[in-house]
Amino acid sequence: MEFSAQQIAGILNGQIVGNPNVKVNGLSKIEEGKAGTLSFLANPKYEDYIYTTQASIVIVNNTFTPQKPISENCTLIKVEEAYSCFAKLLQFYDQATAKQPLIEERAYVSPSARIGKDVYIGAFAYISDQAEIGDGVHIYPNTFIGDNAKIGSGSKIYANVSVYRDCQVGAHCTIHSGAVIGADGFGFVPNSENNYQKVPQIGNVILEDHVEIGANTCIDRATLGSTIIKKGVKIDNLVQIGHNVVIGENTVMAAQGGIAGSAKLGKNMMVGGQVGIVGHISLANGTMIGAQAGVPKTIKEEGTTILGSPAYDAEEYKKSYMGFRRLPQILDRLREVESELKKLKENQKLNG
């Protein structure tokens, strides 16, 4: 697809500096810009690249003032916030290149399933009995939608996703390849024969609207009731979420983390990569958790930042870490003091 600077400026309500008729048909990073591509400059650290980039159009902030000459082949579009405007263009491009409504011949759709308007269902997808697929949903090949599952309007379910029975996906959600929504929670009890007996998991998973789930993430169904991922939550790849967990609105969680069963996370939290959260605790709204932290207990104060494993207050952790870094020197000094003390004691005995 090809767009002119004038068309792009119209979409972004931006101001053109340069040739309004120049056209682009691709995107590039500013340091790798090529003729015919669109790029952006938001971070001042990358400003030097704008003077050498070959990109035909660059989106910049209104406040940007060139300190050196810019190539006459480079047209600027000034906007209020370059990064968010570039993201808006990416979204526009994504929508423009989306699959057209179609149920491919090799897809299976149960006669009792309810399918909305303008839906795409790819080959070898399986839509089970009583499933509900909303308007404008995209379900890519090899995806499984279980009995009584519901997919809200405008959602995208990429290839090889499994949405188990009775689970609900809200409107405008995105679930990336390999994710599993509604696998059994990890529920077992020891029995008289010294074996583990499975506890049936009869609840479900509810994803509210505008949730995004990364590739190969698993969200377990509740033992009873629901595991709930609330509106606007964004979860990265390779995350494990246990049964009966609740994650509050607009919380984000980076890759390779795990949340044990029945933990309750507040809204507007930020959870770093490889974080582990134990079960049956509550974390207050706005909690910030640094990468690789292990969270063992409830946090009641909103806006708390924690680091470490076990995790505790970030400022205290930093002070402790400074001591830890100096530990070899401290140990060397301690050995010197012990040696000197030993000599003093020996001298006292000789002079005693």
Catalytic residue IDs: 243
Is residue 183 within 8 Å of 165, Cβ to Cβ?
A: no
State the burial class of residue 320 (Cβ atoms within 10 Å of its Cβ: 0-12, 13-18, 19+).
middle
Kindly calculate the radius of gyration of the chain based on its CA atoms and give it in whole angstroms: 28
Whole-angstrom distance between the N-terminal and C-terminal Cα of the chain? 96
**Tokens of residue 61, six digits:** 């902030």
**Tokens of residue 64, six digits:** 């940007």
**Tokens of residue 3, six digits:** 């767009």
CB neighbourhood size of 136 (10 A): 19
- Dihedral sign, CA of 279, 281, 285, 289? negative
What CA–CA distance (Å, rounded) separates 279 from 282? 9
